[in-house]
Amino acid sequence: MTGMENGTPAALPVPVAESPRRGLAAAFWSLLFLGTAAGNVLAQWMRALRDAQPFPAAATSIEEFSSALASLGLLVLLHAGARRWPLHADTWRRRIGIYVLGGVAWWLLHVSGMVLLRKLAFALAGQHYTYGDWPTQWFYEFFKDVQTYSLLVIAVHAAAWFGRQRQGEAHLLAPPDEGPPVEPVERPQHFLVRKLGKEFLVATADVEYAQAAGNYVNLRVRGHDYPLRITMAVLEQRLDPAVFLRPHRSWLINRDQLRSIQPLDGGEALLHMADGASVPCSRRQLPLLRQALGGAAG
């Protein structure tokens, strides 16, 4: 079982279901921030028109859109931080300090970014831009930025929570309160999935592969990812080693879903799965994988 040709290392695959959602999220946040900036420009123009005052359209547009663009750039970091340090009922006390420091970092980076954009835009127009006095102007922005940052943290985590509810979260079956378990709990044949208030069972044999994601492992089942709160090492112990192989420290695969192995320069490989995904295989694990497959990959 081997690939058709050698290739160069590819980026780690992203589950198919995530790409459209990320594209929609990026479009939503871009429309929100840029639309708000355009609305602020329009409001200031209408105020100037009402008061019969001159309206510096270019300067106002630069100031509003520079702030929006700086916020959009920082929002990427906020999303990454939310994935790395998610807030849950049992973790928020330990991680709240990280988000407090993140609020200070947001303020400093947002002001620095928008001022830099403004200076560049005004310089291109042959003008000079002065932001204002350090303590007064910067701390004026501090209170606005803290409010914006707090609302974004809530929104990002609320969206992540809703996404988990819609997509579903997997749980290991627990021993029953009374009577013997219907299957060995130490090596379950099913996972319990909770989705939008309903519960159903997913057969372990239907798991195509699993990827570590922070404190979770994402189980891939028929085009859907079900986050399971467990470490990859513990999950590996719970699954049947005759069925599930570990080609990489962050991945487990169902051998029945493996279609081909593509060797790469450096001794690594890409494993092509039945659903079209490509899973990395480390140089150390490749010989063990081939041995587990019975030496069929030559």
pLDDT at 248 over 90: yes
pLDDT at 285 over 90: yes
Q: How confident is the model at residue 137 (pLDDT cuts 50, 70, 90)?
A: confident
pLDDT at 227 over 50: yes
- Prediction pTM value: 0.57
Q: How confident is the model at residue 295 (pLDDT cuts 50, 70, 90)?
A: low
Q: How confident is the model at residue 14 (pLDDT cuts 50, 70, 90)?
A: very low
Q: How confident is the model at residue 168 (pLDDT cuts 50, 70, 90)?
A: confident
Closest Cα partner for 260 from 85, 7, 80?
7
Taking only the tens place, the pLDDT of each residue in 55-114 is 999 999 999 999 999 999 999 999 889 888 888 776 788 899 999 999 999 999 999 999
Delimiting residues of CATH 2.40.50.1020 domain(s) in the chain: 170-292
Pairing of strands 198-203, 190-195: antiparallel
Closest Cα partner for 270 from 289, 294, 256?
289
Q: How confident is the model at residue 222 (pLDDT cuts 50, 70, 90)?
A: confident
Name the fold adopted by 170-292.
Answer: OB fold (Dihydrolipoamide Acetyltransferase, E2P) (2.40.50)
Tell me, what's the pLDDT at 164? 67
Tell me, what's the pLDDT at 15? 40
Which residue would you say has higher pLDDT here, 101 or 225? 101
If you average pLDDT over every residue of the chain, what do you get?
Answer: 84
Taking only the tens place, the pLDDT of each residue in 177-217 is 444 544 444 677 888 888 767 788 888 899 999 999 877 88
Which residue would you say has higher pLDDT here, 34 or 172? 34
Tell me, what's the pLDDT at 13? 41
Distance CA 204, CA 239 (A): 8
Q: How confident is the model at residue 167 (pLDDT cuts 50, 70, 90)?
A: low
CA atoms within 13 Å, Cβ hemisphere of 32:
12
